[in-house]
Amino acid sequence: MSPVGVAVSAEVEAALASGGAVVALESTIISHGMPYPKNLQTAMEVEAIVRENGAVPATIAILDGVPHVGLNSEQLKRLAISGTQFQKTARRDIAQVVASGGNGATTVSATMFFAHKVGIPIFVTGGIGGVHRHGEKTMDISSDLTELGKTPVAVISAGVKSILDISRTLEYLETQGVTVAAYQTNEFPAFFTGTSGCKAPCRVDSPEECAKIIDANKNMHLESGILIAVPIPKQHAASGKIIESAIQQALKEADDKKITGNAITPFILDRVKVLTGGSSLEANIALVKNNALTGARIAVALSDLRKRATTRSVRSAL
């Protein structure tokens, strides 16, 4: 049964009821992350990848004041065409968007909140937010990090966006008690590139290993999230040196224009896309698709693990 006030698609509800594999997907990446029709095409391709790998996709957004978990094709198209007309919605904005009957594209924190509310344990995104550069002075820290500290959802991402302070972000995640694992690497990935210079707290090498950690987190009632950082595929990784140079230029432009708050990230990402001739957008799409592939396989492994545990429990009770 769907939680009060949340519309869950029949497909997602059926999958959850049967213990099937479900993967939550955010909507800000569609409405604010790329232009139409590229955003709709990418959203449909990401959902298709999730399905092809045995899981049910559940894109999350707020439509006319109602949180939706699992969008149909018409709703996805509406989200893509409307673009930035949909309010970028983090946890702090949920009540306001719902109360006003507004339309909200959920960020990492809001997507995690709704995923957990309906019982989805795995969420795939591009990259999470973090501690901004000079965050020790500005206290500009993404709500993604505090959400990970209090909401038991496993987030599959390409690490931390490269426009952020990665080492301080990892320190903050440790303070929040978040399990951080790098997938098939010892180094924490930096969104556009697989290297950051920061060692990952732990390494996982298979969907089954990830599933065991997610299941243990639930069984221990830790009530905190998990971040599984997946490097962008090497064949799609844009030159880290070129992108880093573009990031530095974009940061200076943002400072000169006095752009602050949640307007910084979309401005910088857009400028980096222009400065790198669009290669950053293609890299972004490639890593999201790779994360969807990995996340779906983890969701299937988790579903299988829990079904086996239920079967053993039933047998032992006979």
Given 120, 151, 184, which residue is the final one in a domain? 120
Instruction: Check whether residue 99 and residue 135 sit in a common domain.
Output: no
Of 9 and 284, the one with more pLDDT: 9
| pLDDT attached to residue 235 | 83
**What are the structure tokens assigned to 190, written together?**
């930096």
Instruction: Check whether residue 78 and residue 133 sit in a common domain.
Output: no
Residue 218 falls inside a structural domain: yes
Instruction: Check whether residue 210 and residue 234 sit in a common domain.
Output: yes
Q: For 48-52, 189-193, 287-291, which range has the lowest pLDDT when averaged over its residues? A: 189-193
Instruction: Check whether residue 115 and residue 237 sit in a common domain.
Output: no
The answer to whether the Cα torsion of 108, 109, 115, 120 is positive or negative is: positive
Match 């221990």 to its residue by tokens. Answer: 220
| pLDDT attached to residue 20 | 98
The answer to whether the Cα torsion of 21, 24, 30, 34 is positive or negative is: negative
Q: Which CATH number do you get for residue 166?
A: 3.40.1790.10
The answer to whether 122 and 54 are in contact (CB under 8 A) is no
- Please classify residue 54 by burial: count the beta carbons closer than 10 Å to its beta carbon, then call 0-12 exposed, 13-18 middle and 19+ buried: middle
The amino acid that residue 115 corresponds to is A
Instruction: Check whether residue 20 and residue 149 sit in a common domain.
Output: no
Instruction: Check whether residue 167 and residue 260 sit in a common domain.
Output: yes
**Of 217, 172, 222, 224, whose CA–CA distance to 198 is shortest?**
172
* Mean pLDDT taken over the chain: 93
| pLDDT attached to residue 318 | 65
Instruction: Check whether residue 299 and residue 180 sit in a common domain.
Output: yes
| pLDDT attached to residue 21 | 98
| pLDDT attached to residue 135 | 81
Residue 318 falls inside a structural domain: no
| pLDDT attached to residue 294 | 98
Instruction: Check whether residue 161 and residue 51 sit in a common domain.
Output: no
| pLDDT attached to residue 239 | 65
| pLDDT attached to residue 281 | 81
Number of helical (H) and strand (E) elements in the chain, helices listed first: 13, 11
Residue 64 falls inside a structural domain: yes
Residue 237 falls inside a structural domain: yes
Instruction: Check whether residue 111 and residue 194 sit in a common domain.
Output: no
Its domain, for residue 70, covers 1-120
| pLDDT attached to residue 155 | 98
Instruction: Check whether residue 300 and residue 151 sit in a common domain.
Output: yes
Instruction: Check whether residue 207 and residue 65 sit in a common domain.
Output: no
The predicted-structure confidence for 237-284, as pLDDT tens digits, reads as follows 766 668 778 988 998 999 899 887 667 778 887 898 889 887 778 888
For the annotated catalytic residues, the residue numbers are 26, 161
Instruction: Check whether residue 194 and residue 308 sit in a common domain.
Output: yes
Q: Say which DSSP state 105 is in.
A: E
Tell me the whole-structure pTM to 2 decimals: 0.92
